[in-house]
Structure formats: C-alpha cells, structure tokens
C-alpha cells in the first residue's frame, strides 16, 4: 500500500467518523463508506458490492435519542480493507465486520461521554460571552469522533497482510466459516426488526403482511414495489375518514395542546 | 443602545445558522445531547440582536440547556427561537420561561414525527434501493442514496428554518394541524409495505432437512422441510425470525447480542446440517 493511499484512508475514515456522529450526509453508511474505500484501495467494483451487502444488514442501525446502534462506520472501513487488501470473500468480510461494529459502538459511547467535558467548557466560555470559544469547542468535539474511526482503520490498513488474514481464517474450522456464511443470509432480520419496532402501529401492520405476501409471489423490482407501496399509502390517506370527515374535529382537538404529542407517542409505542 | 428597536436578522445570519445546523450533532454528549449545538445555532442571532454583555451571557446560557430532536428537523425549532429572541430583544414581553418551554414543547412532537420519517422510512427505503443497484454493480446505487437523502434533508433544514423564522408562533398551530399526521401515516404505510417485501426478498434461510423419502418405481423423491414451507408461503421462516427479533428488541435485548445469537444459530445449524 502506498503512502498516498494510507493518507487518503486516514482522511476518508476521519470523514466517515464525523458522519457517524453527525448523521447528516450519511458518509458513515456502508453504501457510501465502502464504495469510497474501494476507490482508494484500487478496486471500486468490490467496494461497491460489499457496500451494498453491508448496507442491507445495517438497514435498521439507527441512533434514536441517546440510544446507540451498532457502528456502521468502523465496520465499513475495516471490512473493505479486509476484503480488498486481505483478499477475503464478501461473506467473510461481513462476518468480521459485525464484531467490529460492536467495538465501534463501545468507542462511540466513550467518545460521546468525553464530549461532556466540551459542554462544561462551553458553559464557562458563555460566562464571558466568548462566542468564538463556544464555536471552537463545538466543532473540535467532532475530532474525537473522527479519530475514533480513523486511528483503528489506518492501523489495520498499515498492518494488514493478506497471507496473515488468510492463515488466520483458514485456521477456523469449516463449521464456523460455513455457519457464518449461513447466518449472513438472515442476520438482516435484526435490522428489519429495529425499523419495524419503530414504525409499527398495530392498525397499519396489515400493510407489512401485504408487502410480505406480494414480495413472495411477484417478481418485481424494488422500485416497482416502491411505487405500489406509494399508491397504497396515498389511497389510505385519501380514504381514511380520520383525515377527511372529521377535519374540523381534529383541528379543534389539536388546539388543546398535547393531543399531537399523544398521537406521536402512540405511534412510537409498539 | 436604548433606541426604538426593530433589529433585522440579515441574510448572512440566517445562512450561517443554516450552515451550523448541518453540524447539529458535532458535540453530541450524553449530558445535554444537542445543548452546545443549539447554542452555536443561536450565536449569529444573539450577536445581532443583543448588544450588552449581560444580555449576551444570559442568552448563551439559556441555549446551552438540554436539547434533542431528529437532526433533520431542528430547523423549525431554531427558526422559532430566533424569532422569539429577536422579539425579546426588541422589547416584546417574551420571558425566558416561554422560550424554554416552547423549545421543549416542540422537541417532543418533532422527534416523534422525525425519527420514524427519517430513520424508519426515508433512509431504509433509499438505502435498500441503493443497495439493490450496488449489488448489480451500478454506481447509481450510492449516488442516488446520497443525493436523494441529502436533498430531502437539506430541504427540510432550510425550509424548516425559514418557515420557523417567518411564521414564528403560527407554526406551532400548523404542526398540530392535519398535514403532519397525514404525512406520517402515509409514510408509515409505505415503509411497512416495503419492509414486508424486504423480509421475504432479501433474507436467505434454507432448511434442507429431509422430511420424507419415497421411492416409487426406482425414482426417489426427497421432500425437504424447505419445500413444504415454500408451498405454504415463501419466506415464512424469515417472517417468524423477524417477529421473534421484534419481540426480543421490545424486551430491551441489545441488538448486538441478537446478532451474535444469530451467528451462533447459523454455526450450530450448519454443524448439525439443518441449515445450509
């Protein structure tokens, strides 16, 4: 690996680390993180496909409030290095990525605890109305998150050696590697379940089962299914008496503050 | 500085706030979550409308308090708070308590809409679409995901901020109206439907367990457990596993533990020849 590549890996994994806490531009999602890593490592096609596979597994990994999900940032960067530089199959790369995601989760919790100190420093800066200092503290907290991804990633990039990785994985019994590959086929359900728990409103669940049955029998592309789903959604909203007949009633109710709150709570509940 | 006031927030102030909003979680910390970020969002406004040090210190401290909302939907809250701080500086009767309780009051409902909308619906759908293209080797996968998600996100941030600022308090009434519940329910229908499709399409469970072996006229017909399940309805094991995971997650089991548990099941099943 050239020096330039190592520098680029450090820069990109720093951006991925920032993305993982900001959750704005989505650079920490495997689809983006692995694809760019692939370009840097000289095998864009492999990075792209690995990103697609890992993205499916990570579909439901999301941070809600203060709760932390497994970390897609570190998992993506390290898995790409192992697959492209370490010469591993995608399935094995993903099998390794998952423990890395757990380690990344611990690291990000640690980083988010360190930043409490930045908050306290900002309170002191506010005493002097020191605007510049507050801004500097806010943005420098981002470096903690950048480094928590870029340091481990760069270390792996520098020290990984294809023969070593191969030897290590070959030492594993086939029951383990075969089992990991099998599990890779259905590990996605955890992510699905996370999304479903967040969205599921009991009276809307029939739409989930409808999707399940149609998906099993129809050979349509995902885009086509998206359009079908959109049509169901529009029809549902148009035909729902809650939104048409009782319009005035709903508005009246809502003006007593808190009823919208109750609705939102309801939907998040189960 | 006791002249009659109608301080104007400049275009530059608003744009700078918008840029800051894109770093809403830069200093994410477990004590105040977006507390420091919200204060930074307010800096251009505080600088513009307050001139004495005492006022500035008070305003900065006010906005260092706990704050948390789906990052894409911080715009309306920041906008309304800007409008209120401007009003307060201009001498209108808006006290600290009103500003604080408005922030807290908006935070809950907005996160209630924003989390399922952004993380539960928009991102998984775009990511699933992007991933399906990436698996076929198409660069449109990551590109569509990146530009579509960020387009929506930036739109929500910019217009949320503008509308919050322009309409001030009127927006609160808007939110409790009909549009957002409609949008949320519609998005939930779409999201649930797509999740149903994904559960059956993108989960691979193969149970080649031989249930019966019949030999008729020299021909051996092997019926596996998988074939029986597929005849009932394709994807049943995936559905069962998903429902089980939903139940365990509700029981507060850590997702990482579930992932490792499933690896265990995979290894065990493969070893015993039940899974392939």
* pTM, two decimal places: 0.80
Measured between alpha carbons, how far is residue A56 from residues A14, A142, B40, B124, B273 in Å? 23, 27, 35, 9, 26
Q: Is the per-residue pLDDT at A244 higher than 70?
A: no
Using CB atoms, pick whichever of B177, B255, B268 lies closest to residue A70: B255
Q: What is the DSSP string of B64-105?
A: TS-B---GGGHHHHHHHHHHHHHHHHTT-S--HHHHHHHHHH
Each domain of chain B, given as residue ranges in start order, spans: 11-197, 206-272
Q: Is B210 helix (H, G, I), strand (E, B) or coil?
A: strand
| Nearest Cα residue in chain B from A265 | B112
Contacts (Cβ under 8 Å, ≥6 apart) of A183: A95, B262, B263, B265, B266, B267
* Span of A123-132, A175-184, A219-228, B26-35 with lowest mean pLDDT: A175-184
pLDDT at A252 over 90: no
The interface residues of chain B toward chain A in range 151-170, judged by CB-CB distance below 8 A, are: 153
Report helix, strand or coil for B178. Answer: coil
Most confident of A52-56, A246-250, B168-172: A52-56
Give residue-wise pLDDT tens across range A105-139. 888 988 988 999 999 999 999 999 999 999 999 99
Determine the average pLDDT of the residues in A86-105.
Answer: 86
| CB pair distance less than 8 Å for A187 and B27 | no
Q: What is the pLDDT of residue A78?
A: 94
**pLDDT on residue B4:** 52
Is the Cβ of B198 closer than 8 Å to some Cβ of chain A?
yes
Q: Is the pLDDT of residue A149 over 70?
A: yes
CB of B7 within 8 Å of a chain A CB? The answer is: no
Average pLDDT, integer, range A159-183: 79
Mark out the alpha helices in chain A (DSSP H runs): 3-22, 30-41, 44-57, 72-84, 90-114, 116-127, 131-159, 162-170, 174-186, 188-199, 205-217, 222-239, 247-255, 259-269
N- to C-terminal Cα separation, chain B: 78
Q: For residue B156, what pLDDT is reported?
A: 95
Residues A104 and A19: their CA atoms lie apart, in Å, by 13
Mean pLDDT of the A159-168 span: 77
**Which of B121, B175, B178 lies at the smallest CB-CB distance from A247?**
B178
State residue A245's pLDDT score: 54
Instruction: Report which of residues A157 and A257 the model is more confident about.
Output: A157
Q: Is residue A45 scored above 90 in pLDDT? A: yes
- Render A152-218 in DSSP notation, one character per residue: HHHHHHHH--HHHHHHHHHTS-HHHHHHHHHHHHHTHHHHHHHHHHHH--GGGHHHHHHHHHHHHH-
Instruction: Tell me which residues of chain B have a pLDDT lower than 50.
Output: 1-3, 172
Relative to beta strand B219-224, strand B210-216 is antiparallel
Dist CA B169 CA B203 (whole Å): 47
* Residue matched to tokens 């409790």: B176
Nearest to A77 by CA among A165, A149, A143: A149
pLDDT value, residue A25: 96
Q: At B213, which helix (H) or strand (E)?
A: strand B210-216
- A178-200 average pLDDT score: 82
Q: What is the pLDDT of residue A254?
A: 42
- By the 10 Å C-beta count (0-12 exposed, 13-18 middle, 19+ buried), B183 is classed as middle
Q: Which residue on chain A is closest to B147 by alpha carbon?
A: A25
Distance in angstroms (rounded) separating the CA atoms of residues B227 and A93: 31
Predicted confidence band of residue A198 (pLDDT cuts 50, 70, 90): confident
- CB within 8 Å of A208: residues ≥ 6 apart: A196, A200, B192, B193, B195, B196
Going by C-alpha positions, the residue among A264, A172, A40 that lies closest to residue B69 is: A264
């Amino acid at each position: 690996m050239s020096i330039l590549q190592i520098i680029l890996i450090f820069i990109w994994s720093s951006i991925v680390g920032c993305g993982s806490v900001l959750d704005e531009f989505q650079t920490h999602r495997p689809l983006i993180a692995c694809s760019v890593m692939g370009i840097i490592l000289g095998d864009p096609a492999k990075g792209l496909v690995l990103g697609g596979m890992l993205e499916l597994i990570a579909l439901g990994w999301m941070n809600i409030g203060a709760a932390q999900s497994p970390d897609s940032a570190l998992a993506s960067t390290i898995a790409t290095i192992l697959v492209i530089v370490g010469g591993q199959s995608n399935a094995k790369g993903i099998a390794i990525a998952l423990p890395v995601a757990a380690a990344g989760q611990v690291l990000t919790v640690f980083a988010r605890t360190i930043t409490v100190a930045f908050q306290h420093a900002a309170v002191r800066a506010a005493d002097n109305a020191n605007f510049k200092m507050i801004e500097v503290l806010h943005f420098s907290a981002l470096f903690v998150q950048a480094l928590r991804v870029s340091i481990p990633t760069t270390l792996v990039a520098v020290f990984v050696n294809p023969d070593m990785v191969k030897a290590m994985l070959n030492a594993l019994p086939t029951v383990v590697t075969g089992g990991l590959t099998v599990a890779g086929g259905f590990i996605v359900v955890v992510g699905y379940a996370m999304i479903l728990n967040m969205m599921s409103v009991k009276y809307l669940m029939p739409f989930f089962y409808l999707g399940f049955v149609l998906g099993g029998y129809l050979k349509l592309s995902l885009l086509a299914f998206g359009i079908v789903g959109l049509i169901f959604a529009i029809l549902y909203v148009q035909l729902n008496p809650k939104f048409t007949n009782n319009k005035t009633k709903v508005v009246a109710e809502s003006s007593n503050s808190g009823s919208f709150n109750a609705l939102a709570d309801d939907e998040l509940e189960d | 500085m006791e002249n009659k006031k109608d301080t104007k927030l400049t275009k530059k102030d608003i744009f700078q706030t918008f840029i800051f909003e894109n770093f809403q979680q830069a200093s994410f910390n477990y004590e105040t979550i977006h507390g420091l970020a919200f204060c930074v969002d307010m800096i251009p406004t505080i600088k513009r409308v307050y001139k004495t040090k005492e006022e500035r210190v008070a305003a900065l401290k006010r906005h260092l308090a706990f704050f948390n909302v789906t990052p894409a939907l911080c715009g309306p809250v920041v906008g309304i708070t800007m409008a209120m701080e401007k009003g307060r500086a201009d001498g209108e009767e808006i006290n600290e308590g009103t500003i604080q309780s408005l922030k807290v009051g908006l935070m809950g409902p907005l996160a209630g809409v924003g989390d399922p909308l952004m993380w539960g619906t928009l991102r998984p759908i775009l990511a699933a679409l992007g991933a399906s293209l990436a698996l076929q080797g198409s660069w449109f996968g990551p590109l569509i995901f990146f530009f579509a998600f960020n387009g929506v996100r930036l739109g929500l941030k910019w217009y949320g901020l503008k509308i919050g600022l322009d309409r001030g308090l009127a927006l609160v009434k808007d939110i409790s109206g009909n549009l957002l519940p409609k949008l949320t329910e519609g998005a939930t229908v779409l999201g649930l439907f797509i999740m149903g499709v994904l559960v059956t399409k993108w989960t691979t469970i193969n149970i080649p367990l031989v249930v019966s072996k019949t030999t008729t006229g020299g021909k051996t017909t092997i019926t596996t457990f998988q074939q029986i399940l597929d005849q009932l309805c394709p994807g049943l094991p995936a559905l069962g596993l998903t429902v089980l995971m939903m139940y365990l997650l509700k029981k507060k089991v850590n997702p990482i533990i579930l992932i490792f548990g499933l690896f265990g099941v995979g290894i065990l099943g493969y070893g015993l020849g039940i899974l392939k």
